[in-house]
């Protein structure tokens, strides 16, 4: 099954990095965040990736073109120039990098990948969000409802402390507590080929009329993920994820079996990726 990674947006909220490299190439724990996203799918046995590039796409192409050399140890014969590569961590991945246009919106990027998707069920996510998603449970949920589309619903990371008040008195102060059922679009979609018929053109964000109309037609279900999920939208997010990546087992690779459930479809505020 193909896994599509949106990797073409301008990443303007992370301009400290994205003026020189595309957002998927911003490093977390010493490697581009897009590789962390791929690691999640690879854990579950999905290794066939299609990267939908746009902004600074050549940077992504060059990275994967040189990936084998840059991640391997090697011996070079300086006289002849012959080289023997010794991969440190061999990866059995297939990665296609497709330039889907500089200003194309997320829906349009999918349209331009039609010929790459082989007319089969496929998965899609953003290259700037990581979570310990149970991909097997996600796919089982998608197959169980039999509709065209599934989105993974996540609870947004709490960024502020919580005050519990009785009148004007603070009775409890808790750091980053989440007590309310708030769900947003966390990516990690599963789509049937028919969703492409809901995208009117290259200028349409997937997150606007396509998902809205899929929901209207009863074709969009949400898989609730209550585990770890975090986007990389700002420098603060990058630094937070960097700290987590310093461990041998970052939270987005700590998997637990998930329960299957559904809710109304959420929306993600970012439209380009």
Higher pLDDT, residue 162 or 101: 101
Q: What is the pLDDT of residues 28-37, one digit of tens each?
A: 999 999 999 9
Return d(Cα 224, Cα 110) in angstroms, integer: 24
Antiparallel, parallel or unpaired: β 94-99 and 48-53: parallel
Report whether pLDDT(246) > 50.
yes
For the chain, the average pLDDT equals: 88
Please tell me whether residue 183 adopts helix, strand or coil conformation: coil
Kindly indicate the confidence band of residue 177, based on its pLDDT and cuts at 50, 70 and 90.
low
Please tell me whether residue 43 adopts helix, strand or coil conformation: helix
Report whether pLDDT(262) > 50.
no
Q: What does the pLDDT average to over 246-254?
A: 90
Kindly indicate the confidence band of residue 186, based on its pLDDT and cuts at 50, 70 and 90.
very high
Kindly indicate the confidence band of residue 179, based on its pLDDT and cuts at 50, 70 and 90.
low
> What is the predicted pLDDT for the residue at 265?
46
Cα–chain center distance at 221? 18
In this structure, of 74-78, 115-119, 220-224, 260-264, the range with the lowest mean pLDDT score is 260-264
> What is the predicted pLDDT for the residue at 40?
97
Kindly indicate the confidence band of residue 261, based on its pLDDT and cuts at 50, 70 and 90.
very low
> What is the predicted pLDDT for the residue at 169?
62
> What is the predicted pLDDT for the residue at 271?
43
In this structure, of 80-84, 161-165, 220-224, the range with the lowest mean pLDDT score is 161-165
How deeply is 86 buried, as exposed, middle or buried, from its count of CB atoms within 10 A (0-12, 13-18, 19+)? Answer: exposed
Q: What is each CA distance from 253 to 37, 41, 173, 250, in whole angstroms?
A: 10, 10, 30, 6
How deeply is 40 buried, as exposed, middle or buried, from its count of CB atoms within 10 A (0-12, 13-18, 19+)? Answer: buried
> What is the predicted pLDDT for the residue at 161?
66
> What is the predicted pLDDT for the residue at 270?
42
> What is the predicted pLDDT for the residue at 71?
83
How deeply is 202 buried, as exposed, middle or buried, from its count of CB atoms within 10 A (0-12, 13-18, 19+)? Answer: middle
In this structure, of 159-168, 191-200, 246-255, the range with the lowest mean pLDDT score is 159-168
Q: What is each CA distance from 83 to 64, 68, 70, 155, 157, in whole angstroms?
A: 19, 12, 13, 49, 47
> What is the predicted pLDDT for the residue at 266?
44
Higher pLDDT, residue 257 or 242: 242
HSE-up (13 A, CA, CB side) for residue 135: 24
Per the CB < 8 A criterion, the answer to whether 122 and 136 are in contact is no
| CA 176-179-182 angle, 5° bins | 100
Cα–chain center distance at 2? 14
């Amino acid at each position: 099954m193909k896994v599509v990674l949106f990797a073409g947006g301008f990443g303007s909220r992370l301009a400290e990095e994205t003026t020189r490299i595309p957002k998927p190439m911003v490093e977390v724990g010493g490697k581009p965040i897009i590789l962390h996203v791929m690691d999640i799918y690879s854990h579950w046995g999905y290794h066939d990736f299609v990267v939908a590039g746009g902004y600074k796409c050549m940077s992504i192409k060059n990275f994967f073109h040189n990936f084998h050399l840059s991640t391997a140890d090697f011996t070079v014969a300086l006289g002849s120039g012959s080289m023997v590569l010794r991969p440190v961590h061999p990866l059995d991945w297939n990665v296609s990098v497709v330039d889907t246009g500089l200003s194309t919106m997320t829906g349009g990027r999918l349209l331009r990948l039609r010929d790459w998707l082989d007319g089969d069920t496929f998965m899609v996510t953003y290259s700037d969000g990581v979570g310990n998603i149970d991909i097997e449970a996600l796919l089982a949920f998608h197959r169980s409802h039999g509709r065209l589309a599934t989105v993974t619903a996540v609870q947004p990371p709490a960024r502020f402390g919580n005050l519990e008040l009785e009148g004007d008195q603070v009775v409890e102060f808790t750091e980053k507590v989440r007590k309310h059922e708030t769900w947003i679009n966390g990516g990690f979609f599963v789509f049937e080929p028919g969703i492409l018929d809901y995208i009117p053109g290259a200028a349409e964000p997937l997150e606007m009329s396509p998902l809205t109309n899929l929901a209207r037609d009863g074709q969009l279900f949400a898989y609730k993920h209550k585990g770890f999920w975090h986007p990389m939208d700002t420098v603060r997010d990058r630094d937070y994820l960097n700290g987590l990546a310093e461990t041998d087992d970052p939270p987005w690779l700590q998997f637990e079996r998930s329960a299957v459930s559904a809710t109304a479809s959420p929306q993600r505020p970012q439209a380009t990726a």
